Structure 1
Amino acid sequence: MQDWVQILIRSVTLLVVLFFFTKWLGSKQLSQLNIFEYITGVVLGGVVAIHISTLDSPIYYALIAMFVWFLIPYSVELISLKSKTFRNFMQGKSTVVIQNGKIMEDNLKKEHYSTDDLLESLRKKDIFKVADVEFALLEPTGELSVLPKKENQPLTAKDVGLKVAPEREPQTVIMDGKVLLEPLANLSLNTNWLETELEKLNVSIENVFLGQVDTHGQLTVDLYDDKIAVPTPSQKPLLLATMKKCQADLEMFALATENEKVKQMYEKNSQNLQKAIENVQPYLK
């Protein structure tokens, strides 16, 4: 067998094996690695590279070496899940580097983390003053987790007592001009509803590159032709405006009539409609 054929076969075989080993080791191998996972990845890659080009070495040598380096980290992961002490030793643990706005210098030295490293990591979190930090942890992966002081945290709807509607992730119902039935079913919708919504926008499914439905059942689309303008969804704003107009009309009718009984009826219904508007307004904005 010619050398180039052997290299081709070895490359494909070892690549497939490496793919499955990495997949079985879990998604952590694809994210930020700890020390042991980093070493494992380097060694597995080195084994593959060496045995692809070294034709004098049988391919099963590479398979044995890869299996050993798969078995070791896999076993370490299983033990780490059951023992925190072992997990702390193998993967490390978080270290407090800022507490109550005060830098913990001894912990920084222990982790070989310089002041410049700390300030750089804080700037990446859009924090430029150490005094603005309530608490900061250096994770085993090298990532800095930061809790700003309360007065420096972004204002939320809860802080101002604002009621907001709950939201779920948007569902993609059209991709590359094709309907995706499973996301539609998750929303308790069907193709008839989708076709009706597309007719309102005056577009066909084949012209849609991407279509998504939000938590309120509103369809938005992106077309293949960027020059075609798609009308902005207006059902919710129109409904809110209509409800407000009806409430204003009821108030006006109450002021216009001289019949006390009719006036009370208009005022009562106006108040009820105002409460309904307050309840649904977060959903219609």
Structure 2
Amino acid sequence: MPEWIEIFLKTLLSVVVLFFMTKLLGKRQVSQLSLFEYITGITIGNLAAYISLEKDWYLGLVSLAAWVACSLGIEFLQLKSKKMRDFIDGKGTVLIRDGKVLEDNLKKERLTTDELMEQLRKRSVFKVADVEFAIMEPDGDINVLLARKNQPLTAKHLGIQVAPEQEPQAVIMDGEIMDEALATIGLNRGWLKTELDKLGVTIENVFLGQVDSYSQLYVDLFDDKIMVPVPQEKANLFATLKKCEGDLMLFGLTTNNKAAKEMYEQCSKQMEELIAQLEPVLKR
């Protein structure tokens, strides 16, 4: 066998072996690497290159298997023991507490003030005094908690009850219907065709179609020049409810019948309460 064919076949073998070994090690090997996982990744890459080029390539496979087994064993120990996790991955280091930089911890992590400020700016924080708590995680990432007065307002701060939202389901991809996604939200192809007819588009022209938790269909077409109307079901329902409230108030003001006036006023108050409850949902 020519040497170039042999190298080609061994390279393919090393790619396949490396892929399955990486899958075996799990997703953390790709992201959020600890120090040991970083070393393991470099070593496995070198061993894969060895398998591709050396004649005694099977020895590379043995070494690769040993490294993977060692890595899996350490991950198992980390799952079972916090002491092992702290020893291998290390602990988080507090850098800022109550708006004050902890200089000793900064020196311990060999982090300069400029680097700290750069990390804060990446999180849209420009004043250390605005930070309640900042910690450097074992993977080197810095997480920041703003002081309560500097946190952005949320519905909870305003005392507004917001309905839970389910994740949108992609029901059309590349012009193909995703039946599993439709079934997940309790819809079918007939409903989808009706919604597309309302928008005046065909399935073949849809690059991506998503349905939110309120069964509203949003589509992105292959042709970006074509404008598609945004779903208005919630806005229309809110407007209809407000119109009903207004009509009830008007009937109560125009009628001369005392009993009817009281009935309309009572219904108007009930409608007002209903709208107040639904407004956080319908105006999202």
- The aligned counterpart of 2:7 is 7
CA RMSD of superposed structures (Å): 1.2
Matched, 1:180 2:173: no
- Quick check: 1:279 aligned with 2:272? no
The C-alpha deviation readout for 1:192-251, integer Å capped at 9, x for no partner, is 111111111111111111100011110011111222221221222112111111110111
- Give the drift of 1:84: 0.8
Q: Which runs of no fewer than 5 residues in structure 2 stay unpaired?
A: none
Give the match for residue 47 of structure 2: 47
Q: How far did residue 126 of structure 1 move?
A: 1.2
Return the match for 1:144 from 142, 153, 167.
142
Aligned length: 283
1:32 deviation in Å? 2.4
**Matches of 2:140 and 2:259, distance apart in 1:** 73
CA contact (8 A) 2:7 2:53 kept: yes
TM-score by length of 2: 0.96
Partner Cα separation in structure 2 for residue 224 and residue 92 of structure 1:
49
Alpha-carbon distance, 1:269 to partner: 1.2
1:246 matched residue in structure 2: 244
Q: Which residue pairs with 1:237 in the alignment?
A: 235
Distance in 1, matches of 2:8 and 2:280, equals 60
Are 1:135 and 2:137 an aligned pair?
no
- Output the amino acid matched with 1:225: D
One-letter identity of the residue aligned with 2:228: V
**CA displacement 1:241-269 (0-9 Å, x = unmatched):** 11111110111111101110111111111
Cα distance between partner residues in 2 of 1:280 and 1:128: 38
Distance in structure 2 (CA, Å) of the matches to 1:31 and 1:110: 24
Q: Which amino acid aligns with 1:171?
A: Q
Offset, 1:110: 1.7
Quote the sequence identity (%). Answer: 52
Q: Distance in 2 between matches of 1:97 and 1:226?
A: 47
TM-score, normalised to structure 1, is 0.96
Give 2:110's aligned amino acid.
H
Q: Which runs of 5+ in 1 are unaligned?
A: none
- 1:53: Cα distance to partner? 2.4
Is the 8 Å Cα contact of residues 132 and 148 (structure 1) preserved in structure 2?
A: yes
Paired with 2:37 and 2:153, the residues of 1 have a C-alpha distance of 39
Q: Which of 240, 261, 264 lines up with 2:259 in the alignment?
A: 261
The correspondence for 1:78, drawn from 73, 76, 79, is 76
